[in-house]
């Protein structure tokens, strides 16, 4: 072999080795998104198949490919059990090459999945888990909180109600991490604004009979019975309170978390007048209506803020992969933090250093039946709550924001 030929072959070998670095890097030649959710339990209506549909809509709207590689969506049912959720997450990350897990209702399951994501150094975006610990003491470069946290809901609802004269509170609190976090944050807002917390009771999740808990709240004589709960307890407590004459007795219920599917199930007759804070309402403007009607055509119901948030985050994630030229988790997360998030879901949104997506929220009141003009016309928007006011500053307990 001549020296000239050896030189050419050597140059070709070097070029071949260097080529992958110059091109897009997608692990396993596919971007795989796992929707880990509750498919049949009490959280399945506000998450479940609706979250799967939202994720698939995002993939389809993006074109089904990123950097020339296919995008796939897979589904898992964690049954609201941390051990099952953790096991699915581990299998997905380890053997099924899942790049991103989304949704994951119930804080205990979300925290279990976050632990696996940290261990495996893979991305996880939570939408239907609200404990502020996600971006506080348990914050992680691999875990992102997109839709809400308990502090934001507490600021929106508790502060507004106290300012309206509801200055004594008694909480009915779901007895798990999410409920405890919601009560803690709301209590601090109530007391900071001159109100007083008289006590609380803590029914387990999905308790069939809430009568004794509602009666204790009623006996407290607090002006406001704060519902520090998610589905199904939250709406059952409001329904039970209505049946026991809570409203007729002069007390009011304030839902610290209520979703439009909850209101739909309860009905305007029982829910009318309820105050709540939401990250999203389908009937806000042309952008929210256009997307929500496409979603409705697939699901035959309007989306919750959680389901709309799944779409928003998946689109932003895929765009970040495209711009980063890789699906490397930390590089994608960094790219996601670079640009503002302004879409049909998020207004004035941005992903902070602690991986909390800060955006505007809305204080709404449930309409009276006679005020509703068409199906799913449920809310009066009372005011906008800026993301800065709602979410507050980063938690110094998060090492990602410590100086």
Cα within 13 Å of Cα(282), Cβ side: 23
In terms of domains, do 94 and 158 share one?
A: no
The answer to the question of residue 326 being in a domain is yes
pLDDT at 12: 45
The answer to the question of residue 341 being in a domain is yes
The answer to whether residue 19 scores a pLDDT higher than 70 is no
Q: Whats the size of the chain, residue-wise? A: 403
In this structure, are residues 324 and 332 in contact, taking their beta carbons and an 8 Å threshold? yes
Listing DSSP states for 292-360 in one string gives: HHHHHHHHSSPPPHHHHHHHHHHHHHHHHHHHHTB--HHHHHHHHHHS-B-SSS-SSBEE-TTSBEE--
Q: Percentage helix, strand, coil, to 5, in the chain?
A: 45, 20, 35
pLDDT at 6: 52
The answer to whether residue 24 scores a pLDDT higher than 80 is no
Measured CA to CA in angstroms, residue 345 lies from 42, 140, 209, 285, 309 at distances of 24, 24, 36, 11, 7
pLDDT at 14: 43
Mean per-residue pLDDT for 171-193? Answer: 90
pLDDT at 135: 93
The answer to the question of residue 18 being in a domain is no
In terms of domains, do 273 and 314 share one?
A: no
C-alpha–C-alpha distance, residues 207 and 370, integer Å: 32
Mean pLDDT check: name the lowest of 11-20, 92-101, 195-204: 11-20
DSSP state of 25: B
C-alpha–C-alpha distance, residues 32 and 26, integer Å: 10
Buried b (16+ CB within 10 A) or exposed e, 12-30: eeeeeeeeeeeeeebeeee
Measured CA to CA in angstroms, residue 163 lies from 6, 249, 275 at distances of 82, 21, 13
> Domain containing 329: what range?
28-148+284-358
The answer to the question of residue 17 being in a domain is no
Mean per-residue pLDDT for 251-276? Answer: 90
pLDDT digits (tens, 9 = 90+) for 65-94: 999 999 999 999 999 999 999 999 999 999
The answer to whether residue 22 scores a pLDDT higher than 70 is no
C-alpha–C-alpha distance, residues 141 and 280, integer Å: 26
pLDDT digits (tens, 9 = 90+) for 266-291: 999 888 888 899 999 999 999 999 99
In terms of domains, do 220 and 170 share one?
A: yes
The answer to the question of residue 293 being in a domain is yes
pLDDT at 403: 53
Mean per-residue pLDDT for 343-353? Answer: 97
Reported confidence tier of residue 230, pLDDT bands at 50, 70, 90: confident
Listing DSSP states for 27-89 in one string gives: GGG-EEEEEEE-SSSTTTTTSHHHHHHHHHHHHHHHTSEETTEEEEEEEEE-TT-HHHHHHHH
In terms of domains, do 236 and 211 share one?
A: yes
The answer to whether residue 2 scores a pLDDT higher than 90 is no
In terms of domains, do 379 and 251 share one?
A: yes
The answer to the question of residue 58 being in a domain is yes
Reported confidence tier of residue 8, pLDDT bands at 50, 70, 90: very low
In terms of domains, do 206 and 337 share one?
A: no
Cα within 13 Å of Cα(104), Cβ side: 34
Instruction: Output the CA torsion 5→8→11→15 (10° steps).
Output: -120
pLDDT at 205: 80
CATH assignment of the domain containing 263: 3.40.50.2300
The answer to the question of residue 239 being in a domain is yes
In terms of domains, do 344 and 230 share one?
A: no
In terms of domains, do 251 and 119 share one?
A: no
Instruction: State how many domains the chain has.
Output: 2
pLDDT at 299: 98
User: Whole-number mean pLDDT of the chain?
Assistant: 91
Instruction: Output the CA torsion 223→229→232→237 (10° steps).
Output: -20
Mean per-residue pLDDT for 124-130? Answer: 94
In terms of domains, do 320 and 372 share one?
A: no
More confident residue, 5 or 143: 143
In this structure, are residues 189 and 226 in contact, taking their beta carbons and an 8 Å threshold? no
Identify the bridge partners of residue 275 per DSSP, sorted by sequence position: 254, 365
pLDDT digits (tens, 9 = 90+) for 357-368: 999 999 998 999
The answer to the question of residue 302 being in a domain is yes
In terms of domains, do 193 and 141 share one?
A: no
In terms of domains, do 245 and 303 share one?
A: no
In terms of domains, do 190 and 233 share one?
A: yes
User: Which residue in 287, 275, 241 sits closest to 367, CA to CA?
Assistant: 275
């Amino acid at each position: 072999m001549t020296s000239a030929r050896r030189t050419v072959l050597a140059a070709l070998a070097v070029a071949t080795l260097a080529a992958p670095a110059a091109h897009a890097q997608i692990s396993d030649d596919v971007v795989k998104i796992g929707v880990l959710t509750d498919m049949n339990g009490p959280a399945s209506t506000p998450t479940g198949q609706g979250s799967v549909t939202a994720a698939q809509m995002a993939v389809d709207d993006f074109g089904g490919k990123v950097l020339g590689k296919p995008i796939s969506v897979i589904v898992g049912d964690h049954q609201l059990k941390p051990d099952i959720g953790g096991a699915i997450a581990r299998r997905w990350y380890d053997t099924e090459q899942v790049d991103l897990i989304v949704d994951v209702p119930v804080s205990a399951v979300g925290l279990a999945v976050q632990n696996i994501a940290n261990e495996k150094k893979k991305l996880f975006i939570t939408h239907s888990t609200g404990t502020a610990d996600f971006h506080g003491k348990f914050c992680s470069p691999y875990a992102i909180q997109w839709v809400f946290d308990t502090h934001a809901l507490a600021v929106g609802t508790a502060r507004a109600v106290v300012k309206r004269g509801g200055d004594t509170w008694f909480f009915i609190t779901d007895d798990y991490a999410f409920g405890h976090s919601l009560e803690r944050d709301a209590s601090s807002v109530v007391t900071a604004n001159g109100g007083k917390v008289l006590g609380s009771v803590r029914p387990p999740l999905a308790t069939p009979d809430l009568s004794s808990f509602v009666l204790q709240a009623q006996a407290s004589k607090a002006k406001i019975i704060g519902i520090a709960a998610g589905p199904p307890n939250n709406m059952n407590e409001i329904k039970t309170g209505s049946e026991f004459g809570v409203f007729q007795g002069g007390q009011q219920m304030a839902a610290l978390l209520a979703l439009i599917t909850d209101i739909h199930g309860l009905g305007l007759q029982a829910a009318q007048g309820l105050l709540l804070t939401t990250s999203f309402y389908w009937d806000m403007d042309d952008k929210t209506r256009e997307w929500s009607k496409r979603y409705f055509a697939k699901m035959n119901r309007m989306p919750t803020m959680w389901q709309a948030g799944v779409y928003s985050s998946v689109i932003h994630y895929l765009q970040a992969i495209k711009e980063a030229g890789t699906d490397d988790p930390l590089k994608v997360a960094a790219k996601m933090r670079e640009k503002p998030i302004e879409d049909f879901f998020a207004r004035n949104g941005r992903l902070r250093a602690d991986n909390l997506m800060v955006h505007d929220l809305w204080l709404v009141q449930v309409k009276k039946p006679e005020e509703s003009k068409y199906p799913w016309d449920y809310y009066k928007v009372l005011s906008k709550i800026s993301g800065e006011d709602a979410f507050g500053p980063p938690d110094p307990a998060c090492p990602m924001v410590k100086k």
